[in-house]
Amino acid sequence: MRTVALLVCTALLGACSCQRQPTGESTASPMREQPGATATSSASSDGALAQAGAVAARTDAQRAQAIRDAVDTLHGYLRELGSGQLDQAEKRWAYQRSPSVNEEAGLRSLDGLTALRIDNGTPKPLDTEAVPAYLEIPVQLRASMEGGGTLRFHGWYRLRNDPVTTRWELTAASVSPVIR
């Protein structure tokens, strides 16, 4: 798709009406004097387009991998939280801090939790980089409790890719119970 866009842009620039018209003195085009020049320039532009397409594909793959890694980090955190491994879960936060009660609205203090279902929405980049370093991931959680009760939570988690360790860390959260 990007290759097609690049070809369209190149064609539009080639058809631009702002090109200089030759004067009466020099009506001969240097390209006409060198018949092999058009084939060479065409081959080099095809090579440039292929290289640009390869770079775009590589960037898209890196972006997709970064987003998958961030979602995996969030899911790992919530699994550890759901299984009561609070010390391990805290290591996933930037600066190994604990989130405040306001950030997770009592999610950490659930007694009798038997299962935690995690549904995340599409991660939203919070920066303008081709491969995002900051993401916000919307979540919906369903906590199954002993005795058959169910609690629901919704909100988001923000993560950043630490440039030193190159791993994703949680930086903020806003998760609250759904009251029916």
Banded model confidence at residue 135, pLDDT cuts 50, 70, 90 = very high
Each residue's pLDDT tens digit, 9-26 = 444 445 454 444 555 554
User: Could you tell me the sign of the dihedral formed by the alpha carbons of 51, 54, 60, 65, in that order?
Assistant: negative
Provide the residue range defining the domain that includes 99.
58-177
The per-residue pLDDT for 6 is 45
Residue 6: inside a domain, yes or no? Answer: no
Name the more confident of 41 and 83.
83
The pLDDT > 90 percentage for the chain reads 44
* Residue listed under structure tokens 């058959």: 148
Q: pTM to 2 decimals?
A: 0.70
The per-residue pLDDT for 38 is 55
CA dist list (Å): 19 to 16, 22, 49, 84: 7, 9, 23, 70
Q: Break the chain down into helix, strand, coil percent, rounded to 5.
A: 45, 25, 30
User: Could you tell me the sign of the dihedral formed by the alpha carbons of 98, 103, 105, 110, in that order?
Assistant: negative
Q: For position 86, which CATH number holds?
A: 3.10.450.100
Per the structure, the count of domains in the chain is 1
**Has residue 173 got a pLDDT over 90?**
yes
CA distance 105 to 177: 7
Residue 18: inside a domain, yes or no? Answer: no
Q: What is the mean pLDDT of residues 47-67?
A: 84
Mean per-residue pLDDT over the chain, rounded: 80
CA distance 24 to 115: 84
Residue 15: inside a domain, yes or no? Answer: no
Name the more confident of 134 and 59.
134
